[in-house]
Structure 1
Amino acid sequence: MAVLRFWLWALVLAAASALAKPGDPFFKKLNEKTYQLGNDFWNVTVIGGFGKRLMYNGVDLVGNASGHYVSYNGAANNLSWNLSPPRIVRKSGEYTDIMFSAAEGDMHWVLTPTLLGAYQYFVNRALPRLGEFRTLWRLSNDTFTHGWTTERDAPLARLAEMQEATQKTGDETWVNAQGVSFTKYDLSTFLPNIEGEPTVWGIYGKMPKSGEGIGSWYIHGGKDYLNGDHLKQELMIHRESITGDAVQLNMIHGTHYQARSNDAFAPGKTWGPWLWYLNNGSAADALARARTETAAWPYPWHADERGYASRGALSGSLRLSDGRPASRAAIFLGDTNATAPTLDQGEGYYYRTYAGADGSFHIAHVRAGNYTLHAWPGVGSGIGDVSTVFRAPVTIRSNGSATALDALSWVVPKHKPLFQIGALDRTATGFGLAGGRHEHARARGCPAALNFTVGVDGMEKWCFAQGQPGTWAVRFKAGPGDVGPATLTVSLAAYSAGASAGVYVNDERVGELGPRTLGPGDPSLYRSGTLAGEWRFLEWPAKVREGENVVEFRIAPNSRDKANAANIAMRGFMWDSVLLRLN
């Protein structure tokens, strides 16, 4: 496999070499605070902590924008490369590794003679405990007019639209003169972080005067340094609302859709290498390059003393205790002894895949170390009634050998379900208005009152989000053999604080959905989320009687509703599953 990856990388270089015959990459000190690096195709001038001048085909792609920088906790802390002079730390016939050092850590640019762009990686030295850590480009708003993610290929909002908006209704959210809301969060997407899948996003447009197409892309061949599980979503691109810069985010430790993410990193924790890539603006070319990078990962040219090359493979097979295979289960390798949910884990390295129809799974190129394997029903799995999570310790040895787990048994409770609305897959898949692209305020389309009759209504009648004052009711009939003590399971795909609901079974209050039971809210509903956010799971005892029964979720009006009428539907609950079973 290592030989194959080497030849894949060689093919990448050969394809680029066929375009031209340039000289070596260069690195120049212009003065005590200014440095320039690049090759015969592009170069960037770094002043202090910022890459301020990016030249490509005779055009400065930064212009009046902020350029390239690294920061944590939003824009509150921008790294300054003043710990020691930038320098070349490694050089070979094919690549030049240039390091910029800050008190928090080292940012590396890896250049080759023909590469349009650069590989980058960051090595922690003393980052504080944080939630958000990113690299980014802020490029010319005249040149970069469009953005591309796996969900959208669309124009960026124009600065004039933001300036002319009649009202700002939330975080980077406005209402224009026509009464239409728009927000940067519509350009969010689920981060493609499954092992073996291409990961790419970018901004593109046309260069002034020549009209030549130009695109700037982030491509992640590896994903193990990224935080979160399969349902991690992030803001990738947007228009900056003060200056109009076209913003290309690289959220290597992101928190845009999480309730909590506050991690401490060991010295030497490394993010990357990833590829920052320039082309003619073609998304198809960027996606093809992403497939090549994914196949070549982990890169044979990158080596360090921190375990990058010390890897092994993991395989196993998972079956439920009732005999069913764990078909399409989500498989996650995460931290040992972690109390944080899988979405919020971010201190180490992480691996994500899905089991096959027979419950088997395989993950290649896992860093040596100790992990906890987690499994839960994935979207479209045949085990959406399973309310438990499988966990098991896993050790990957440092000698590069494969780790084959014994047949794993996932213990699931025996119970008699009376009804279930929605699979327990941590998403709102299948509910009314759920899924598709991120879209602002879609929850406003969900009703204040809803009546669902088991055996009559399809799950699409159950809207994906409840936030308005009112009652949602599930009605069902129970025969003589279906009465007695029961358990009501409520699983939420997300919860945005601002609404609370009493939970009733046959007019008896059994529980509550709100901050006291769900903890801090996540921003998914008011940041254009339509499918998932921070998963919550609750169970309460209930009693089922013969004949007619009703389960209700009642949101009472409060004094804030009238003042906040436009946004009230975007606060509340995004549904995953409602399950009632006899004990």
Structure 2
Amino acid sequence: MKNLSFKTKLKKHVSFGLLVVLAAAGSLLSLAFTSGGHKVSADAKVTLTEDAETYTMDNGIVKVRVSKVSGNLVSFRYKDMEMFERAPAPEMVVEAKGDGPANNPNWKAPVITGVSNGYWSHDVVGVKGSAPAMPSVTIDPAKNGGEMAEVSTKANSMGRKMGTGPGTTKDGDLTVDIEIRYTLLRGASGVYTYCTFNHPAEYPLGIFGEARYCAKLAPFFDWVSIDKEVNHEYKKTTFVGDKYVYTTNPTLNRAWGWSSTEKKVGLFFINPSMEYISGGPTKFELTGHLNTDANAAPCVLNYWRSSHYGAAEANIATGEEWHKTIGPFFIYANAGDGPDAIYADARAQAVKEAAKWPFNWVNGVDYPKAKDRSTVKGQLIVKDVKKITDFQNFEVGLTHGDYISARANPEPKIITNWQRDAKYYQFWVKGNADGTFTIPNVREGKYVLYAFTNNVLGEYMKSDIVVEKGKPLNLGKLEWTPVRKGRQVWDIGIPNRNASEFRGGDQRRDPAISLKYPQLFPNDVTYVVGKSDYSKDWFYQHIPHNTDPNARVVPFSGVQGAPGNATPYTIQFDMPSAPTGKAYLRFAICGTGARSADVEINGQPAGKLQNLLTDGLITRHGESGLWYEREVDFDASLMKKGTNILKITMPAGPVNNGLVYDYIRLELAD
């Protein structure tokens, strides 16, 4: 039997044909009204009922149940099917068995427990038995003709640490007030959820750990869809790789989740906006996998702060007043003729949700209305020796400026930039080919404007951008003169913040790709400027050369085995004459597992690539981690007329300890 490549296994059954999409549209229209005898109605009014432990909201399409104790979504029913791994029976009514308070009498010993459902990692429980959450109805459908319902569970810290869900500790994560809300609209095939954090000035230092929303789904979900590459069957019996194979760029993929080939239904998370998500438009994140326990429940995740790919920080200093609202995002249920049709519909729904942002029904939390937000526009003009008239993958964003992240020990000082920031809101858009851009729905505040585009090394920055409440801002024409230390001698790759153009870059989801380097390049990389092709002759991971035949891939840990040999990447180039002055070897790096690399020219030491920012990209199969620049400058007289040999050597060590280059350029100031 023919052995399939890892990429082929992942892409098996993937199809995005127009016929499938059209078929999905027709089937979804009919299934919105009836399926298997179960009647659903987009015209039904929203109802809200409650018992001692839960609120139940129903709009005739979906029926959801929210815990007053924890803020968890303990049941999600669609087409009369429970979508979560475990949930209370729909007919179950929980009686009060505690002494109080009246709105949450069972808080000390709830009947409904566990997290085999939908939950925020930072729940409202706090240290067990310390204090009850405060549940309430924030939108009563009886008062709006059944148009919508919203329920809230809230907890004030009162000196205790909050957040005891999975990923945190039983003693709580940090001192912060938390409010979790769920909102059900008439005619909506899903429920919205959002969480607001509040840190008053009198609270102590708070440092967020892993922060996300997770839903553990019913076992009939057997098809994962997180982007166009990863859209395939995924069961315990067809497991491929580890969970980091299932990372993607959430900015480019606003809808992700699971579907069932048997039941022909799906459940997806949809981010209508990315303003509350960390890391900007290049951040990759874990979005779905099989749970790592024995049950292996299908999981779908929405991370707003994680430790993945360089991590993100949301650290609030002692005495600092801070608040942030995560969401609302949409938990969407749908149906169709098959996984492709279901996923196509979810992606279409994501476009619709984005068009509604900001939602007009959010009140009482840190969430400005549309009239109080602003539109910021302008045009970037690149002034460079290489003329840029057609901007490609042009990203523009308004973010908080670089800052020193709060810590218990102030030394060493940690500078946090937009790539690692989860504390503040960010507003990014993809600009136009002519350099113009329009950033909508910006909150009032003071920002730094950042921009970058393919084929230009570096990023544009303009500070002190003041956005006023409800007032549009036109920044006009902004000139960007990219940094050049001298004339360009040669370059390798494309400055595009990833390594997709290099050999193996399209196979990054294969956990064993690092072990294939010795087979592809038994004598290591030799790149001849002007002759070699970086898509064939330059491997995207510069890693120690494995010689251990027993080396293997261990989930979550990457390649395990004997240390690999030092790996030289050799670059051969010609000079028309012996140069003088100073040479600058400039690196754009987009993935780091190494601490340093050595540079030599014509057999002489030229310097060391150091002060590197590790991000776990190689271990966790990422496409882009933390992007940054480094350079090695040396006396140009080390070069000569004719053929020159430059070597960049990765020291011997664990195979995961390497670098992923975005772009390399040699410049000469003579």
Q: Does 1:412 align with 2:482?
A: yes
Task: Structure 2: state its 5+ residue gaps.
Answer: 1-30, 35-39, 87-114, 157-176, 200-204, 337-341, 404-414, 545-564
Deviations 1:59-79 (A, max 9, x none): 332244711111159xx9999
- In structure 1, the gaps of 5 or more residues are 1-14, 163-180, 562-567
Question: Among the aligned pairs, what percent are the same residue?
Answer: 22
Q: Is the 8 A contact 1:234 1:255 kept in 2?
A: no
Distance 1:484 1:268, change over 3 A: closer
More strand by share: 1
Q: Deviations over 1:183-233 (max 9, x none)?
A: 11111111126xxxx710011115xxxx43221111111221111121111
Q: Distance in 1 between matches of 2:126 and 2:607?
A: 42
Go from structure 1 to structure 2 and tell me whether the alpha carbon gap of 1:123 and 1:556 turns closer, same or farther (over 3 Å shift). closer
Q: Is 1:443–1:466's contact at 8 Å kept on the other side of the alignment?
A: no
2:606 is aligned to 510
SS at match of 1:88: strand
The answer to whether the 8 Å contact 2:41/2:60 transfers is no
Partner of 1:173: none
TM-score (norm 2): 0.71
Deviation digits for residues 334-364 of structure 1 (CA, Å, limit 9, x no counterpart): 1035342321122111111233332221111
Select the structure of larger CA radius of gyration.
2
In structure 2, the CA distance between the partners of 1:81 and 1:548, relative to structure 1 (3 Å rule), is farther
Matched residues, number: 519
The residue number in structure 1 matching 2:533 is 458
Native 8 Å contact 1:441 1:528 kept in 2: no
Q: How does 1:356-375 map to 2 (within 5 A)?
A: 356-375=432-451
| Equivalent residues of 2:590, 2:662 under 8 A apart | yes
AA of the residue aligned to 1:390: M
Q: Deviations over 1:544-576 (max 9, x none)?
A: 332222221213335xx5xxxxxx2x3311111
- Report the equivalent of 1:54: 76
Pick from 489, 495, 509 the counterpart of residue 424 of structure 1.
495
Residue of structure 2 equivalent to 1:86: 135
- Give the whole-Å Cα distance in 2 for the aligned partners of 1:147 and 1:82: 39
Do the aligned partners of 1:69 and 1:79 also contact (CA within 8 Å) in 2?
no
Return closer, same or farther for 1:388/1:58 CA change in 2, 3 Å cut-off. Answer: closer
- Which residue of 147, 161, 183 corresponds with 2:242? 183
Pairing 1:39–2:59 present: yes
- Give the Cα separation in 2 of the matches to 1:79 and 1:343: 35
Residue in 2 aligned with 1:335? 400
**Against the structure 1 CA distance between its residues 138 and 374, is the aligned structure 2 distance closer, same or farther, given a 3 Å change threshold?**
same
Q: Which moves more between the two structures, 281-290 or 119-128?
A: 119-128
Q: CA deviation at 1:262?
A: 4.3
Q: Look up the match of 1:576.
A: 662
Equivalent-residue separation in structure 2 for 1:71 and 1:29 (angstroms): 24
- How far apart, CA to CA, are the structure 2 residues paired with 1:372 and 1:304? 28
Counterpart residue type for residue 495 of structure 2:
L
Candidates 90, 99, 103, aligned match of 2:152: 99
2:278 alignment counterpart = 227
SS of residue paired to 1:268: strand
Q: Deviations over 1:299-318 (max 9, x none)?
A: 23334463512211111111
Aligned position for 1:67: 117
CA deviation after TM superposition for structure 1 residue 479, in Å = 1.5
The one-letter amino acid of 2:436's match is: S
- Specify the alignment match of 1:9 in structure 2: none
The question of 1:136 aligning with 2:214 is answered yes
Identify which of 541, 546, 550 aligns with 2:645. Answer: 550
Change (3 A) 1:307 1:184: closer
Structure 1 44/359 Cα, relative in aligned 2: closer, same or farther at 3 Å? closer
Q: 1:252 to 1:266 in 2, by over 3 A?
A: farther
In the other structure, the counterpart of 2:195 is 122
Aligned partners of 2:572 and 2:384: how far apart in 1? 29
What secondary structure is seen at the aligned counterpart in 2 of 1:223? coil
1:95, distance to aligned residue in structure 2 (A): 1.5
In structure 2, relative to structure 1, the CA distance for the partners of 1:57 and 1:69 (3 Å cut) is same
Cα distance in 1 between the residues matched to 2:185 and 2:630: 53
Local SS of the residue matching 2:323 = coil
Call closer, same or farther: CA 1:316–1:25 in 2, change over 3 Å. same
How far is 1:522 from its partner?
A: 1.0
Are residues 1:476 and 2:567 paired?
no
**Matched residues in 2 for 1:420 and 1:245: separation?**
47
Deviations 1:84-115 (A, max 9, x none): 33211123342112111234411111112332
1:149 to 226, 230, 233: 226
How far 1:41 sits from its partner (Å)?
A: 3.1
Contact kept, 8 Å, 2:47 with 2:57, in 1: the verdict is: yes
Relative to structure 1, is the Cα distance of residues 365 and 247 closer, same or farther in structure 2, using a 3 angstrom cutoff? same
Q: 1:565: which partner in 2?
A: none
Please report how far the alpha carbon of residue 255 of structure 1 lies from its aligned counterpart in structure 2 after TM superposition.
Answer: 3.5
Does 1:283 find its partner at 2:332?
A: no
| Counterpart check, 1:522 vs 2:615 | yes
Q: Is the 8 A contact 2:57 2:149 kept in 1?
A: no
1:244 pairs with 283, 296, 301, which one?
296
Q: Which moved more, 1:445-454 or 1:78-87?
A: 78-87
The residue matched to 2:315 in structure 1 has which SS? coil
Distance verdict in 2 for CA 1:307–1:39, change over 3 Å = closer
Partner Cα separation in structure 1 for residue 129 and residue 443 of structure 2: 31
- Deviation, 1:477, is 1.1
Tell me, yes or no, if the aligned pair for 1:70 and 1:136 is still in contact at 8 Å: yes
- Secondary structure at 1:526 match in 2: coil
Structure 1 position 266, deviation (Å): 5.2
Q: Is this contact kept in 1: 2:596–2:612, CA < 8 A?
A: no
TM-score (norm 1): 0.81
Q: Match for residue 487 of structure 1?
A: 584
Given that 2:374 and 2:468 are in contact with CA atoms closer than 8 Å, whether structure 1 keeps it comes out as: yes
Match of 1:261 in 2: 313
Distance change in 2, residues 1:305/1:256 (3 Å): closer
Amino acid at match of 2:621: S
Would the alpha carbon gap of residues 78 and 138 (structure 1) be closer, same or farther in structure 2, given more than 3 Å must change? farther
* Structure 2 Cα separation of the partners of residues 308 and 79 of structure 1: 34
Aligned pair 1:199/2:259, yes or no?
Answer: no
Give the letter aligned to residue 134 of structure 1: R
Task: Tell me which amino acid in the other structure corresponds to 1:509.
Answer: P
Residues 237-296 of structure 1: CA deviation (Å, up to 9, x unaligned):
100121211111111233422255343395431111111111116112111111111122
Partner of 1:270: 325
| SS of equivalent to 1:525 | coil
Answer whether contact 1:28 1:36 (CA < 8 A) is retained: yes
Q: Find the aligned partners of 1:135 and 1:412 in 2 and give their Cα distance.
A: 40
Please say if 1:292 is aligned against 2:352. Answer: yes
The change in CA–CA distance for 1:316 and 1:227 in structure 2 (over 3 A counts) is: same
CA distance in 1, matches of 2:126, 2:570: 48
Structure 1 residue 29, shift from structure 2 partner: 3.1
What code does the residue aligned with 2:221 have? F
Distance 2:664 2:75 in 1: 54
CA separation in 1, counterparts of 2:130 and 2:82?
22
Asked if the contact 1:325/1:358 (under 8 Å) is kept, the reply is: no
